[in-house]
């Protein structure tokens, strides 16, 4: 890395409109005294040169200086005692005190240039109060960064202090972003710390720029690939099935047979004529298929892939590559795919699932075709999402597992699915996306709702250069920044991934806005109080009911013994009117619109005080009718304590609700995550249309 002297870094960033102190440089203390003649005290003196990246730690900064030459001479002796010989000295006018900020950027190895803003000076290390955004940034991004800071009250004025000039700070953020982008692939790190902010402007009093030793190599983007044959192949070949002892290859042959694959199905075996009733060919060169699944030991995979010329897609299920400390073997595999002219999925993954296209990597008959698609770096987790999702009524269009993503990346598949007319909602499970910048750009460009579950966020840090800025960029920080800029919903578990996909599938196209208001309605005051806590924690607003709405509710016989508030407590049970919630919601929305309505019910009460599922099903049908009457409102149903229902009842309720376009959740927490994700998507799309995102 190549450190640029501070005065040169300031001259460079000053060219982008960033204010810096007036100053001068000199090689010796005597020359510095003369150079400072035109500057107004008090002054600051700094030494610069090799070994002085962190000047304060080396004692290479003096404040409130009267004689720059004397200060430099004293500093020279102190540095000599440390074995440091400065290349020169910088003298500057000392800035007025104010709120100190840090503004910087670093090149993340996966996502590229990342902008950071936070409290500066010593607070940078003490509080770690920072916000990130991937470059490029908009003015809206810059303002959102400042709003995310825990210490933002300092910018607004605290204890009688005047507010700082936020507009000037926003302009500085945008200027730093533009400056960093101008460096292209040669950029390494850049930091302004501190930036002193006051009511009449901001000034960067320290600057540090480190360029890459050599511009990073830019890998050529792969040509646009038609992934249609991957999800609907005319033929499938399985490599690795045994004629003697059943193994993974045999298992996959069984999966395709059980799924009723209608195309050409072959096994690749050097001597056998058939395996498990499936005809064999001696190598992939004779397979004549669109897709090959390779399940042989890792060391044999490159040779197998070299035989795949003419096969558009090869999926290597085998593990034992980069994820097991064998990057050279993975590079050999990648080279073999390039030599054969095939696109490689994996290694270390399971396969592809598409009920409409005949693709499968799980046992049993495929589910009904749907419009939900998933890209997963874990084959096992993808299988769980499919099975659990289908159990809850979800239907999938295309699911691809990509493992190590040596060739085909999640970003590439995301771009394809974003333009796929058969996909309406997209789920991602990611660990190392490989092409983080491509993923960011693909997410920014898609208008479809996307939910992402990211593994390993808490245990990994990015290997950035040792700096204040670089040390604050890591997995756990990048993903929320990416979500803020792209509208993707981040979730923390598989259940929420499935739950958000369910809401996106049913509500993603509804015209309801992304504003935070929700109406919660159902039985039990305690449950309503807990619901208020949950939805408030998810950033959603339980707006009060207007007087006219409360009057209308009293006309329905409500309000005796309970307050008419939001959440609204309303009797729902085996002996109640199943249409009461529908009437109440209709009355409220006639006076005040709510983009989201969460109707909850205590399933246990229906079978403690009743002995039939029909009242509960009647309630579900009424909620479905409400959704039909309010196509511009997102209705969500929460079936609390569903495990108290007899077997099959919960499934029946889900089926009734889903047929009406209403997603169903077992708890308020899951519903809150999904509703918040739906609002985020609606808000992001609205902002993109309005030009504000």
- Say what the pLDDT of residue 272 is: 96
Do the two domains 309-504 and 510-690 of this chain adopt the same fold? yes
Res 680: pLDDT: 96
Residue 245, C-beta contacts closer than 8 angstroms, at least 6 positions apart: none
Indicate the Cα dihedral angle 67, 70, 73, 78, nearest 10°: -90
User: What is the rounded distance in angstroms from the CA atom of residue 308 to the CA atom of residue 246?
Assistant: 24
Kindly report the CATH class assigned to 99-211.
alpha beta
Give the Cβ contact number of residue 487 at 10 Å.
Answer: 24
In the chain (693 residues long), the average pLDDT of successive 10-residue segments reads 90 98 95 93 93 79 93 92 92 95 93 93 70 96 95 88 96 98 93 95 95 67 86 98 92 95 96 96 96 97 97 96 94 98 96 97 95 96 97 97 97 98 97 93 96 76 35 66 96 97 97 96 87 93 96 90 87 91 97 97 91 94 98 97 95 97 97 98 78 42
Q: Which of 555, 542, 546, 544 is nearest to 591 (CA)?
A: 546
Task: Note whether 498 and 388 are within 8 A (CB).
Answer: yes
For residue 687, the model assigns a pLDDT of 79
Q: How many helices (H) and strands (E) does the chain have?
A: 25, 29
Q: How far apart are CA 475 and CA 458, in angstroms?
A: 7
Task: Note whether 215 and 184 are within 8 A (CB).
Answer: yes
Domain 22-93's class? alpha beta
Q: What is the pLDDT of residue 458?
A: 56
Q: Are 193 and 121 in contact (CB under 8 A)?
A: yes
Which tokens go with 447?
């208008």
| Residues 601, 523 contacting (CB under 8 angstroms) | yes
Pick the CATH number of 309-504 from 3.30.70.2860, 3.40.50.261, 3.30.300.30, 2.60.120.20: 3.40.50.261
């999640």: which residue's tokens?
Answer: 410
Q: Given the structure tokens 């599922």, which residue do they identify?
A: 613
Q: What is the DSSP string of 109-159?
A: TTTEEEEEEEE-TTHHHHH--EEEEESS--HHHHHHHHHH-TTTHHHH--T
Q: What's the confidence (pLDDT) of residue 472?
A: 42
CA distance 598 to 476: 31
Between β-strands 313-316 and 343-345, what pairing exists: parallel, antiparallel or unpaired?
Answer: parallel
Q: What is the four-CA torsion angle of 139, 518, 624, 612, rounded to 10 degrees? A: 140
Residue 441 confidence (pLDDT)? 96
Residue 635: helix, strand or coil by DSSP? Answer: strand
The domain covering 510-690 belongs, at the CATH homologous superfamily level, to Succinyl-CoA synthetase domains (3.40.50.261)
Return the domain boundaries, the chain.
22-93, 99-211, 309-504, 510-690
Pair type for strands 343-345 and 291-294: unpaired
pLDDT (tens digit, 9 = 90+) per residue, 181-208? Answer: 999 999 999 999 999 999 999 999 999 9
């Amino acid at each position: 890395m190549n450190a640029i002297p501070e005065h040169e870094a300031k001259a460079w960033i000053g060219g982008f409109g960033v204010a810096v102190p007036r100053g001068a440089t000199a090689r010796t203390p005597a020359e510095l005294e003369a150079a400072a003649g035109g500057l107004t005290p008090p002054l600051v003196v700094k030494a610069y040169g090799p070994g002085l990246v962190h000047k304060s730690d080396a004692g290479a900064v003096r404040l409130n200086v009267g004689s720059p030459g004397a200060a430099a001479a004293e500093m020279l002796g102190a540095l000599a005692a440390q074995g440091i010989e400065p290349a020169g000295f910088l003298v500057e006018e000392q800035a007025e005190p104010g709120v100190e900020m840090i503004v910087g950027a670093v090149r993340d190895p996966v996502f590229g240039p990342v902008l950071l803003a936070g409290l500066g000076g010593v607070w940078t290390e003490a509080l770690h109060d920072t916000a990130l955004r991937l470059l490029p940034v908009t003015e809206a991004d810059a303002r959102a960064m400042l709003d995310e800071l825990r210490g933002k009250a300092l910018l607004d004025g605290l204890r009688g202090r005047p507010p700082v000039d936020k507009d000037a700070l926003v302009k500085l953020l945008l200027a730093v972003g533009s400056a960093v982008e101008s460096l292209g692939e040669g950029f390494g790190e850049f930091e302004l710390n501190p930036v002193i902010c006051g009511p009449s402007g901001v000034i960067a009093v320290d600057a540090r720029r480190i360029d890459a030793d050599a511009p990073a190599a830019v890998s050529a983007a792969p040509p646009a690939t038609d992934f249609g044959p991957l999800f609907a192949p005319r033929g499938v070949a399985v490599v690795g099935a045994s004629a003697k002892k059943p193994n993974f290859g045999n298992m996959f042959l069984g999966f395709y047979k059980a799924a009723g694959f209608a195309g050409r199905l072959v096994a690749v075996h050097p001597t056998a004529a058939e395996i498990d009733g499936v005809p064999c060919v001696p190598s992939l060169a004779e397979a004549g298929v669109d897709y090959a699944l390779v399940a042989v030991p890792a060391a044999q995979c490159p040779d197998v892939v070299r035989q795949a010329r003419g096969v558009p897609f090869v999926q290597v299920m085998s593990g034992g590559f980069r994820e097991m400390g064998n990057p050279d073997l993975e590079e050999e595999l990648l080279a073999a795919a390039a030599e054969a002219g095939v696109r490689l999925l994996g290694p270390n993954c399971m396969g592809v699932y598409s009920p409409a296209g005949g693709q499968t990597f799980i046992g049993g008959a495929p589910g009904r075709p749907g419009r939900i698609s998933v890209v997963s770096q874990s084959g096992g987790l993808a299988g769980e999402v499919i099975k659990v999702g289908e159990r809850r009524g979800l239907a999938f269009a295309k699911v691809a597992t990509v493992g190590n993503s040596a060739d085909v990346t999640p970003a590439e598949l995301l771009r394809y699915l974003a333009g796929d007319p058969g996909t309406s909602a997209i789920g991602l499970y990611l660990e190392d996306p490989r092409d983080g910048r491509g993923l960011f750009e693909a997410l920014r460009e898609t208008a479809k709702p996307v939910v992402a579950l990211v593994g390993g966020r808490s245990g990994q840090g990015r290997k950035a250069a040792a700096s204040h800025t670089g040390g604050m960029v890591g997995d756990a920080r990048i993903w929320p920044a990416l979500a803020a800029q792209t509208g993707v919903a981040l979730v923390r578990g598989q259940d929420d991934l499935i739950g958000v996909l369910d809401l996106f599938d049913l509500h993603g196209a509804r015209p309801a806005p992304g504003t935070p208001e929700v109406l919660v309605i159902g039985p039990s005051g305690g449950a309503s109080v807990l619901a208020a806590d949950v939805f408030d924690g998810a950033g959603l607003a339980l707006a009060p009911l207007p007087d006219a709405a409360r009057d209308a509710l009293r006309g329905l016989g409500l309000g005796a013994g309970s307050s008419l508030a939001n959440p609204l407590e309303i009797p729902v049970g085996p002996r109640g009117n199943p249409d009461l919630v529908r009437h109440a919601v209709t009355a409220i929305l006639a006076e005040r619109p709510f983009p989201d309505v969460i109707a909850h019910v205590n399933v246990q009460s229906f079978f403690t005080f009743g002995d039939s599922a029909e009242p509960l099903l009647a309630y579900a049908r009424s909620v479905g009718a409400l959704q039909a009457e309010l196509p511009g409102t997102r209705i969500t149903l929460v079936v609390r304590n569903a495990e108290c229902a007899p077997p099959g009842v919960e499934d029946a309720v889900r089926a009734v609700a889903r047929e009406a376009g209403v997603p169903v959740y077992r708890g308020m927490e899951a519903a809150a995550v999904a509703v918040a994700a739906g609002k985020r998507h609606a808000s992001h799309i609205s902002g993109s249309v309005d030009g504000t995102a």
